[in-house]
Structure 1
Amino acid sequence: MEINDLTPAEQRVWRAFATGAEVDFRAGGEQAVRATVLRALLLNGPREPGEIAALKVRGAHVVGALELRYAAVDCVVHLTHCRFDGVPDLTGAQLRYISLRDSEMPGLSVTRSRIDGSLRLTRCRFSGPVRLDGAQISGALFLDEAEIAVESGAQPVLQLNQIAVDDDLCARGLRAQGLIRLDGATVAGSLDLEDAELSNPGAHVLDADSLDVGANLLGRRLRAQGRIDLRGARIPGRVDLLRATLANRGDTALRASSCVIGELWLRDGERIQGRLNLRRAEINQLHLDPEMVPDEVRLLDFTYTFLTPHEPAERRLPMLERDTGFDPHAYEQLTAAYRRAGDDRAARLVQLAKQRRHRRTLPWYGRLWGGMQDATVGYGFRPLRAGGWLVSLLAVGSVAFALHHPAPLKAGEAPRFDPFFYTLDLLLPVISFGQESAFAPTGWYQKLSYVLIVTGWILATTVAAGVTRTVSRQ
């Protein structure tokens, strides 16, 4: 292409390219520059010895589609504050650094491209899908305050699956309407979604299966309408969702199943509207505000080491009750967390709740026996209750038999009758004071003795079970 074939605006861009000078059209009004001219410059533009060529244009109207499929571009590209008629196509291209910030485009394709520096799309406005799947970016990817509004149906509006970013992926304040796909993406630094607004009600809004992040996933004040799926993600730092708003009514709002996460922060935000799925996740430190836990959770095989903030067991247990089915592992995890915090009382309450939940799964006779253990000694986690029952029964029996002495079995051979030790002999199935075998009550008192014997056996069995649990815990 010859310079004589160019418009005055294009000539300015052509002359500035060789020295890397910037051309700013904003002061004098938007100027049209053909995409074919920009392509010719990037592939075979003029060079000057001792100068570093670069394409730096602000405020241009790029006419036509910028076509750079599988091209090798060895210069820096700055096309900022521009308006593009067509979708820039950089599929498979090799680039050094590209900035399109503050530009308006009907879409973008950077699929399977290789960028040796960073890709900056800050504050860009897209009316069509943005595709970066399979791209390799040696620097950072910037999507801060970008806007993507696409009527795409089930198709992703932002395609980032299998992308590899050697630095951070910055998308603070991103506003997207539709699905964002991050399946199999690798981000060496942090993934920043703070203050982002993502909307795709009734469907996936962020699909990030097997996401691999080297540091943190930051989502403070994130507002998401739709399902966030982090299944199988590996995030050694923290997943920070402080003051986040997550909603997907009638379906899963957040799925982090089979994840390995250093810290998960779910605090200071509104209650999650939708299901929370943490099945098979492994989290070292869980920062969980009970007020954020939704009505339905999935916690099967969910493991964590530390749980903060420290809350009474009564505030943590409702989360376990909201899981479908009885999962003893969830109760054991909460018990272990309280014991690590030194709160043995809370740990006992969790174990008691576990036994009560288990009782609901048993047949009628199992529920009956469990109810007796609960009423008498709280499944062994409230041993003082057994002492109260024994003292009460001992008092009742002592008064009853003091008013009516049972007849001796062998007159002249029986010891002196003592109502206190006689009642104690009936209640304690192992120890004998020689009273029970020497006297035989009749009528109503015989029935009372049977009640004391049976009750004594039940209390002794439940106390033994409680002692066994205590010893095994220690």
Structure 2
Amino acid sequence: MEITDPTPAERRVLEAFPRGDRLDFRTGPGDDPALGADWGPERTVRARLLRSLLLDGRRLDGEVAALRIAGARIVGPLELQGATIDCTVSFLACHFDRPPLLFGAQVRRWYLGQCVLPALHAGTLRTEGDLVLSDARIRGQVRLAGARIGGALFLKRARIGPVPPPSGDEPDLGSALQLNQIAVERDLVADGLRVQGETRLTGGAVTGTLRLNDAVLDHRGGTALEATTLTTGADLHAMRLTALGRVNLRGVQIPGQLNLAHARLANPGGVALRAGSITVGELWLREAERIQGSLTLRRAQLDLLHIAPETWPDQVRLDGLSYHSLDPHEPADRRLPVLERDTDGYVPYAYEQLTAAYRSIGDDAGARVVQLAKQRRHRGTLPWYGRLWGHLQDATVGYGFRPTRAAAWLLSLLLAGSLAYGLHPPEPYKTGEAPEFNAPFYALDLLLPIIDFGQERAYAPAGVLQWLSYGLIAAGWVLATTIAAGVTRAVSRQ
């Protein structure tokens, strides 16, 4: 398209493009592109002239053509759908009155730093190098779904949204930042990003690290971040992230860290973090605020889970959660209340994982506390007779995890029996044939069913002492059974 009536500003662009010179229309350090709608013709460039340059602009031998403009007002739609742009394009602190249209375009490096735009439509864009949107302010949607970025994608301190609701027959296209199925060959750097509306990263693939440090994703009552089946080649750093709305990370694969240290995750009355079926090296929630909303980690596979007891929310789902290490180290009594908040009810696997975590660091006492809590929680799922037997096992030997209780019970019963039969010795069955009566060994004969000192067979208590002997025999059988169960558990644990 030939431009026959260029303005003075456009003449400067036409002259600078073949040599790749940078044009700066800014008037001073306080020049704000948000006020670009008021800039005059001396700073105004028509989008159709830029399109003509990028598609068929004059080249000079020995020079590298490039479009480098700062502080300009770009009027009209920059329509480059499906175009192939063989030069670097850089807009710095420019004001666009219409969204650039880059669907299916192929470009080298595209820079929109500090620019103000109504929206950006660049689905399935292909770049050889970086795509830079750092410090950009975009009032509408950013569509990069299916884009292939040959370098890094920069969204540092960008401001996106709020997306206005659809009007008339215009369809509601949903999310404010659409990065679903995006592929980034290097890093995706979005530190300090601010999004009002949903951010979508579903099915995205980042070869390097994805960074969302200090980002604020605000979609209250909805989904703040939808990143199911996202994969990264290294880490996902989201330290000090503020997510107001649901964060959905189901099925993500991150070989390094998923770092949510100091993060704030808030979706009261709904799911704050859904991270089921994830495969992650280390999940860090160190010093994060208490999660507002529920947390799902079902079937997640982690090498390290770093979360303090006070960070867990009131509702969790942990069935199938696997981890090798749990930090920071806390007494078992501080960790157990979390397992009781599982909305799926009694989840045995969660207790086994916590037990294994304590055993892996040599804290056998903590492991026993968890196993005892598991038996008590299981007791609530049994019929009345099972609960009754469970209470008896708990009171006597703590389901085998409190062996000293058995010794205390045996010693108490032995002392009681020795005292009672010592004060009132029973009569022998056969006078002159019975061995000399010994009250402590008589009580032991009653208490220990597998030991026979000959006392029980030789003497016959009567009255109250006979009922006492029945009680000692029954107590002995209960203690023997529960002790045997405890020993079996101890041997199987070894």
TM-score, normalised via structure 1 length: 0.98
Question: For 2:11, what is the secondary structure of its paired residue?
Answer: helix
- Change in 2 beyond 3 A, CA 1:9/1:373: same
1:314 aligns with one of 333, 344, 348:
333
User: 1:310 offset after TM fit, Å?
Assistant: 1.1
Larger mean Cα displacement after TM superposition, 150-159 or 387-396: 150-159
Identity %: 58
2:152 to 132, 140, 154: 140
Name the structure 2 match of 1:177: 196
Q: Is the contact made by 1:165 and 1:188 (CA closer than 8 Å) also made in structure 2?
A: yes
Alignment of 1:209-224 (within 5 A): 209-224=228-243
Per-residue deviation, residues 90-142 of structure 1 (Å, max 9, x unmatched): 00000000000100001001101110101000011111100000000010000
Which residue number corresponds to residue 92 of structure 1? 104
The correspondence for 1:45, drawn from 44, 57, 76, is: 57
Matches within 5 A, 1:121-270: 121-152=133-164, 155-270=174-289
Contact 2:437 2:455 (C-alpha < 8 Å) held by counterparts:
yes
Q: Deviations over 1:232-271 (max 9, x none)?
A: 0000010111110110011110111000000000111210
Residue among 76, 81, 86 paired with 2:93: 81
Equivalent in the alignment of 1:415: 435
- Structure 1 residue 411: Cα displacement: 2.0
Take 1:432 and 1:326, find their aligned partners in 2: how far apart are those partners? 44
Partner of 2:451: 431
Shift of 1:290: 1.2
Hey, what does 1:405 align to over in structure 2?
425
Tell me how far apart the structure 1 counterparts of residues 364 and 228 of structure 2 sit (CA, whole Å).
38
Q: What amino acid is the match of 1:415?
A: P
For the Cα contact (< 8 Å) 1:197–1:222, is it kept in 2? Answer: yes
Are 1:452 and 2:472 counterparts?
yes
Q: Report the equivalent of 1:462.
A: 482
CA contact 1:131–1:158 (8 Å) conserved in 2: yes
Q: Which letter does structure 2 place at the counterpart of 1:362?
A: L
- 2:141, 2:163 within 8 Å by CA — same for their partners in 1? no
The counterpart of 1:109, out of the listed 105, 108, 121, is: 121
Alignment partner, residue 12 of structure 2: 12
The letter of the residue matching 1:44 is D
What SS is found at the alignment partner of 2:19? coil
- Contact 2:208 2:234 (8 Å CA) reproduced: yes
Match in the other structure for 2:81: 69
Letter matched to residue 446 of structure 2: L
Counterpart secondary structure, 2:413: helix
Q: Residue 257 of structure 1 aligns to a residue in which SS?
A: coil
Contact 1:108 1:129 in 2 (8 A): yes
Rounded to whole Å, the distance in 1 between the matches of 2:253 and 2:159 is 28
Q: 1:362 aligns with which of 375, 382, 388?
A: 382
CA-to-aligned-CA distance 1:396-428 (integer Å, 9 cap, x gap): 011111111112112222111111111010000
* Amino acid corresponding to residue 75 of structure 1 in structure 2: C
Distance apart, 1:27 and its partner CA: 2.1
Partners of 2:288 and 2:316 in 1: CA distance: 17
**Contact 1:92–1:112 (CA under 8 A) maintained in structure 2:** yes
Q: Does the 8 Å CA contact 2:282/2:304 hold for their aligned counterparts?
A: yes
Residue matched to 1:341: 361
> Runs of at least 4 residues of structure 1 off by over 4 A?
1-4
Q: Measure the CA separation in 1 of the matches of 2:383 and 2:4.
A: 93
Query: Structure 1, residues 261-314: CA drift from partner, whole Å, max 9, x if none?
Result: 000001112100011100000001111111111111100010001111111111
Contact 1:3 1:11 in 2 (8 A): no
Residue identity opposite 1:5 in structure 2: D
- Aligned-partner residue type, residue 184 of structure 1: G
| Cα distance, 1:339–1:152 mapped onto 2, change above 3 Å | farther
The residue aligned with 2:21 is 21
Quick check: 1:323 aligned with 2:332? no
Query: What SS does structure 1 have at the residue aligned with 2:425?
Result: coil
Name the SS for the 1:379 alignment partner.
Answer: helix
Deviation at 1:149, TM superposition (A): 1.7
Q: Relative to 1, partners in 2 of residues 1:314 and 1:152: Cα closer, same or farther, differing over 3 Å?
A: farther
Residues 380-409 of structure 1: CA deviation (Å, up to 9, x unaligned): 111111000000000001111111111211
Deviations 1:131-170 (A, max 9, x none): 0000000100000100012235671000000000001111
What is the SS of the residue equivalent to 1:317?
helix
Q: Distance in 1 between matches of 2:310 and 2:107?
A: 48
Residue 229 of structure 1 aligns to which amino acid in structure 2? N
8 Å CA contact retained: 1:3, 1:14: no
One-letter code of the match for 2:8?
P
Letter in 2 for 1:472: S
Whole-angstrom CA distance in 2 between matches of 1:201 and 1:449: 70
Deviations 1:296-335 (A, max 9, x none): 1100010001111111111111111111211111111111
Looking at structure 1, the residues matched to 318 and 475 of structure 2 have their Cα atoms a distance apart, in angstroms, of 39
Distance of 1:54 and 1:118 partners within structure 2 = 15
* 1:120 corresponding residue in structure 2: 132
Q: What is the rounded CA distance, in whole Å, between the counterparts of 2:164 and 2:117 in structure 1?
A: 16
Count the aligned residue pairs: 474
Mapped contact 1:275–1:296 kept (Cα < 8 A): yes
Rounded to whole Å, the distance in 1 between the matches of 2:221 and 2:484 is 54
Q: Which amino acid aligns with 2:285?
A: L
Amino acid of the residue matched to residue 98 of structure 2? G
CA distance in 2, matches of 1:113, 1:22: 24
Q: Which residue number corresponds to residue 36 of structure 2? A: none
CA distance in 2, matches of 1:469, 1:47: 82
SS in 2 for 1:133: coil
Question: Which residue does the alignment assign to 2:412?
Answer: 392
Question: Match of 1:103, as an amino acid?
Answer: C
SS in 2 for 1:226: strand
Gaps of 5+ in 2: 32-38, 166-171
Return 5+ residue gaps in structure 1 as ranges. Answer: none
Aligned to 2:491: 471
